[in-house]
Each structure stands twice: as C-alpha cells, then as structure tokens.
Amino acid sequence: MERAVRYSKKREAILAAIQGTRCHPSAEWVYKQLKPQHPDLSLGTVYRNLVFFQQRGLIQSVGVIQGQERFDAALAPHSHFVCNCCGAVLDLPDIAPDSALDQTVSRQYELTVQRHELTFYGLCPSCSDPQQYLKEETSS
C-alpha cells in the first residue's frame, strides 16, 4: 500500500516560495522567507519537504554552494552560473545542455548517463563591480 499524501498549508507555502523566486534558495532561505507568515514553521519541516519535493521531481538540487544545498523548481533544461564571491546562482536559459551528449558519453564510456549539467563559475555583476566596496550596505 502506498503512503497517502495529505494537504498541508506549510508544504504548499514551501513549494510556492521555491517556485516564486529565481534565487535558487537554500533551506534556510525558504525558512526565513516563510517565518513571518508562518511563525510556527520549523526548519525540520522545510528540510523534510525539500526531500519530499525532490522525490516527486518537483524540485531539483543545484548542488552545494558555500556549504548550503540549493534548489531549483525544475522546468525547462537550462544551465547555471554561480558567483564565486557571493554564491548567487543565476539561470542561463539560452545555454541549454545538449541532451545528445548523454548518449555519446553513454556509449563512449559504457555508462548509464541520465543527465548532465553545465555550470559556469565567475563573478556576478555586483561582485565584479569594484565600486561595491564604496557603497553603503543595503542588505544584511
């Protein structure tokens, strides 16, 4: 017998938070985002739901960046850019991975390739701007 799934207001809010941002959030980001509207939300619930959504393919991990796992609401195939300075993750919608490559690699190396990822690393506009250090703090 399969395990039943029940509605939960917090689960809904967690998924909406991830789908509603482009920042590829971490568990903590989701938690802080929702805490004001859901004062009794706990981090454990966020983590449990992240696993839940991943298992159902609603979200995907983008990897661990600066110590925290980051997530993406899975949509069209695309690549990512990661800022080595602030850890920001940006979508590169025009840089789509070539799925034919999977087959090439599968054959050439006798592996079962399921997918591949193309990730760029560097500095985001804000971190590569030398003037940033002269500006006032605008975020904490």
- State in angstroms the smallest separation of the CB of 24 from a second copy: 15
Choose the binding region for DNA from 2-10, 77-85, 88-96, 104-112 (rule: CB under 7 A): 2-10
Cα–Cα nearest to 83, from 116, 56, 121: 121
Site string for DNA, 101-140 (x = CB under 7 A): ----------------------------------------
At CA 72, angle to CA 118 and CA 15, rounded to 5? 170
- Give the rounded distance of the alpha carbon of 89 from its chain centre: 8
Q: What kind and span of H or E run contains 55?
A: helix 43-55
Told to check if 84 binds DNA by CB under 7 A, we report: no
Told to check if 68 binds DNA by CB under 7 A, we report: yes
